[in-house]
A = this chain, B = another copy of it.
Amino acid sequence: MFKLYEFSTSGNCYKLRLAMSFLEINFSRIEIDITKGESRTKDFLKINPNGRVPVLKTPEKSYLPESNAALWYLTSDSDLMPEDKFEQAKVLQWMFFEQYSHEPFIATSRYWIHILNKEDQYKSELLEKSPKGYAALDVMEQHLEDNDFFVGNKFSAADIALYAYTHVANEGGFDLSKYTAINKWLSRIENVRNYITISE
């Protein structure tokens, strides 16, 4: 059975729970409280020397850090991955967009505001993150104005990667109300069979 080392309120960890729910894969969960330094202990660094969650432990007992690498591993032979090689690369394109242009601004802002409850302490950092997070949302909105999903007009792992932090962007101080296409896309995902919320 798969085992997920996770900080359960993290969107990066939620990606893997969501994918395994869609794919009806059984897994166990181990909570690693990153606010208490539990991802930086000597024992955890043996599992992931980079000191981050999630880490997916496979049934063969191998460890796989990096949310989108684990998401690719879980989905690569499933309906959540296109068959065409160029479309597979497009899935990866959006996953790299998510980790480089979206997560460092939206997820980090949410971490300071919603998880640590330290909005005042991080005021200047939040101001710097804000336009970059909105820039990522603008890129998504533009794409979704012409497409129901991110790749091949079909629900895929790319949507899961981007859904994780976009649907809780408000918890990072981002106002999603003007993003009509994003809101429709969020609903579309929430209606897929076996969808679970981030708190499940």
Count residues of chain A with CB under 8 A from any CB of chain B: 35
The stretch among A93-101, A115-123, A164-172, A186-194 that forms the contact with chain B is: A93-101
Among B50, B72, B93, the residue within 8 A (CB) of A66 is: B93
Q: Is A62 an interface residue (CB 8 A)?
A: yes
Given known A-B contacts A86-B58, A99-B99, A104-B104, A69 and B49 have beta carbons under 8 A apart: no
Sample of 18 further A-B pairs with CB below 8 A, known A58-B86, A77-B85: A49-B143, A52-B101, A62-B86, A64-B86, A64-B89, A66-B93, A66-B97, A66-B100, A69-B90, A69-B92, A69-B96, A70-B89, A70-B93, A72-B92, A73-B89, A73-B92, A96-B96, A99-B99
